[in-house]
């Protein structure tokens, strides 16, 4: 979070949908997963003014994975359209890893954690 006086930049992650009793799109088990929407926004007096960097994630409970969804697929899920997970290959669902020191979610291309500065394992 970046904050100067009356304005700042902040990241937000919200659960868009939670599905129970579904087949996990990552490992194939019958369990629960959540669809997350993540973005950053500029605010004035804590009122959001401008939003960017929107992406969709799937977080599974069975295999403890967080994966990036293709943007159009995530938007379709938010609109309530039926999800056909079979159209996504395992390569499309990019894994996110956590920092071993501070548990921050890291992008696949990050070599160092942006929060604590430690090198990825």
Q: Is the pLDDT of residue 3 over 60?
A: no
Q: Is 100 helix (H, G, I), strand (E, B) or coil?
A: coil
**Half-sphere exposure in the Cβ direction for 63 (13 Å, CA):** 15
Comparing CA positions, the residue from 98, 93, 92, 96 lying closest to residue 118 is 98
More confident residue, 16 or 96: 16
Q: Rounded to two decimals, what is the model's pTM?
A: 0.67
pLDDT tens, 82-99? Answer: 777 766 655 556 667 778
């Amino acid at each position: 979070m970046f904050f100067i006086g009356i304005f700042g930049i902040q990241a937000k992650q919200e659960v868009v949908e939670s599905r129970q009793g579904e087949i996990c799109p990552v490992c194939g088990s019958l369990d629960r997963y959540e669809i997350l929407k993540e973005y950053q926004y500029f605010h004035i007096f804590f009122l959001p003014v401008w939003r960017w960097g929107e992406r969709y994630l799937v977080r599974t409970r069975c295999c403890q994975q967080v994966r990036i969804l293709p943007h159009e697929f995530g938007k379709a899920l938010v609109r309530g359209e039926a999800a056909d997970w079979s159209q996504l290959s395992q390569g499309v669902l990019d894994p996110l890893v956590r920092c071993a020191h501070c548990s921050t979610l890291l992008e696949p291309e990050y070599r160092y954690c942006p929060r604590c500065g430690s090198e990825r394992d």
